[in-house]
């Protein structure tokens, strides 16, 4: 065992999963270098976060400059990066979502969004979706059902949270197939309102517009549209958790744009500040204004250095045309992966938007092939390609490289994956 893994064992809780044994020294764009000088390609973007690439010079510059001027406010005074970031965010968030609360992490944004929904509606109920991941704090964990391992032994959860199946068509909860589907996932919500909680007691519905940790699943457009109508009918706030799908990951600023649906509240984190801790709750003025002074707060949220990194991130996405690039590179990758799917029966499904692509591994009868995927990922890591899995059975590769990845770099990564498939499945 490597010395650093031993050292970690003696000092860092076992609960924290570090996905590879790499001891990283530095990073640049899509590459990570370890302490021995070995170079890896990171197709995880540090868990879907360094969308503009690791250590982008514009971000590094912004951090250095801001750190020299002002590192902390603790809500004692205003500072220019906070105001400027809100103005920049307003230019890219869905129409009407023009007021913000800045926090530190995805989970914290979800907590705040839940509080805002309950406060502004005076209602208690929260509906989330089975398979969703929203964080590890008590409120966000109460919504999280992507795997039992995030919930085991933490009962009781926040009360009045209800779950309905996420529209995961490849593994439909209702056994339906695309084409003959009658949207039972939607009807289930109506049943929930008849049997478990009346809709006029529901504050909000919280959903990832593209499922992240739960399996990189793209829901049918129709589902999100009907969900929007349902929320409108009952004055329920629709919350999109764009923590993973946002900030250009799907080739649009936010995944909601692919569906033509605008939520009432949106949570953003991960890609917002290229790795600096920052998150945001975005909502309409009339909702945010229901929160009186002091109803919510933070010491570190919206930290000046993180805000400066976020401003540089937004400018870089625009300057380098990264949304368009993500769409093009994503399309190219999907085409190649679909070709591989035809040759390798162990690839059961390839799905995604932009550079948020899920590759689901199966064995006979579409059963999850967790072991095969593990072997493929180990092979890739050995060859210098870092991948990460998702899904309750850990049988889905989430392909989420930085949006700056070039077509030839994408191809080099996919070549390694193809070699891995040949080595593991012998086709
Ligand atoms: C969709 C979604 N929401 C919330 C979170 C929680 O974010 P954080 O780990 O920053 O608390 C995550 C993290 O993976 C996520 O993917």
C-alpha 240 – ligand 1 centre gap (Å): 12
Mutate-to-test residue for ligand 1 from 103, 212, 389, highest number of ligand atoms within 8 A of CB? 212
Give the distance (Å) from ligand 1 centre to CA of residue 345. 32
Query: What is the token pair recorded at 94?
Result: 């869905």
Minimum-distance ligand 1 atom for the alpha carbon of 241: 1
CA of 398 to the centre of ligand 1 (A): 15
Q: What is the pLDDT along the chain (427 residues), one digit of tens a residue?
A: 689 999 999 999 999 999 999 999 999 999 999 999 999 999 999 999 999 999 999 999 999 999 999 999 999 999 999 999 999 999 999 999 999 999 999 999 999 999 999 999 999 999 999 999 999 999 999 999 999 999 999 999 999 999 999 999 999 999 998 778 999 999 999 999 999 999 999 999 999 999 999 999 999 999 999 999 999 999 999 999 999 999 999 999 999 999 999 999 999 999 999 999 999 999 999 999 999 999 999 999 999 999 999 999 999 999 999 999 999 999 999 999 999 999 999 999 999 999 999 999 999 989 999 999 999 999 999 999 999 999 999 999 999 999 999 999 999 999 999 999 999 998 7
Cα of 128 vs centre of ligand 1, distance in Å, is 15
Is the pTM here over 0.85, yes or no? yes
The residue whose CA is least distant from atom 16 of ligand 1 is: 244
Spell out which residues line ligand 1, taking CB within 6 angstroms: 105-107, 110, 133-135, 208, 212-213, 241, 243-244, 269
Q: Give the per-residue pLDDT at 49.
A: 98
| Region of 229 on the Ramachandran plot (φ > 0 left; ψ -120 to 50 alpha; else beta) | alpha
Residue pair 166/129 in contact (Cβ under 8 Å)? The answer is yes
Q: For a substitution probing ligand 1, which of 143, 240, 243, 398 has the most ligand atoms within 8 Å of its CB?
A: 243
Report pLDDT for 178: 77
Residue 213 alpha carbon, nearest atom of ligand 1:
16
Please measure the distance between the N-terminal and C-terminal CA atoms of the chain and give it in whole angstroms. Answer: 33
Pairing of strands 279-283, 99-103: antiparallel
Ligand 1 atom showing the smallest separation from residue 269 Cα = 10
Distance set, CA 254 to CA 183, 259, 298 (Å): 24, 10, 25
* Ligand 1 atom nearest residue 105's Cα: 10
pLDDT the model gives residue 1: 61
**Pocket of ligand 1, candidates 244, 255, 276, 306: which has the most ligand atoms within 8 Å of its Cβ, to mutate?**
244
Ligand 1, atom 8, lies closest to the CA of 106
């Amino acid at each position: 065992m490597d010395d650093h893994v031993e050292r970690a064992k003696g000092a860092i809780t076992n609960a924290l999963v570090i996905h590879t044994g790499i001891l990283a020294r530095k990073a640049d764009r899509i590459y990570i270098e370890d302490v021995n000088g070995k170079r890896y390609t990171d197709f995880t973007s540090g868990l879907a976060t360094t969308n503009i690439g690791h250590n982008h010079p514009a971000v590094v510059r912004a951090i250095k400059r801001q750190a020299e001027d002002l590192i902390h406010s603790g809500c004692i005074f205003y500072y220019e990066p906070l105001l400027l970031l809100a103005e920049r965010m307003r230019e890219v968030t869905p129409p009407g979502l023009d007021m913000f609360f800045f926090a530190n992490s995805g989970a914290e944004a979800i907590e705040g969004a839940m509080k805002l929904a309950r406060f502004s509606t005076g209602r208690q109920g929260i509906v989330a979706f089975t398979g969703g991941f929203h964080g590890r704090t008590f409120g966000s964990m109460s919504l999280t059902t992507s795997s039992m391992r995030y919930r085991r032994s933490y009962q009781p959860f926040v009360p009045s949270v209800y779950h309905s199946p996420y529209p995961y068509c490849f593994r439909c909860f209702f056994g339906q197939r695309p084409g003959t589907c009658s949207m039972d996932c939607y009807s289930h919500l109506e049943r929930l309102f008849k049997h478990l909680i009346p809709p006029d007691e529901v504050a909000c519905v919280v959903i990832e517009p593209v499922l992240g940790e739960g399996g990189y699943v793209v829901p049918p457009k129709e589902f999100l549209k009907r969900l929007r109508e349902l929320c409108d009918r009952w004055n329920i706030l629709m919350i999109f958790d764009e923590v993973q799908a946002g900030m250009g990951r799907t080739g649009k600023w936010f995944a909601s744009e692919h569906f033509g649906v605008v939520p009432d509240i949106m949570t953003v984190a991960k890609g917002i500040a290229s790795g600096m801790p920052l998150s945001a709750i975005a909502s309409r003025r009339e909702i945010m204004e229901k929160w009186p002074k002091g109803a919510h707060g933070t010491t570190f949220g919206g930290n000046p250095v993180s805000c400066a990194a976020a401003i540089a991130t937004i400018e870089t996405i625009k300057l380098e045309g990264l949304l368009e690039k993500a769409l093009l590179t994503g399309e190219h990758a999907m085409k190649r992966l679909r070709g591989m799917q035809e040759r390798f029966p162990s690839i059961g499904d390839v799905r995604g938007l932009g550079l948020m692509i899920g590759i689901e591994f199966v064995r006979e009868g579409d059963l999850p092939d967790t072991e095969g995927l593990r072997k493929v990922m180990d092979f890739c890591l050995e060859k210098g390609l870092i991948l990460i899995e998702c899904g309750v059975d850990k049988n889905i590769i989430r392909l989420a490289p930085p949006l700056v990845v070039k077509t030839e770099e994408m191809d080099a990564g996919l070549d390694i994956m193809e070699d891995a498939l040949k080595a593991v499945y012998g086709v």
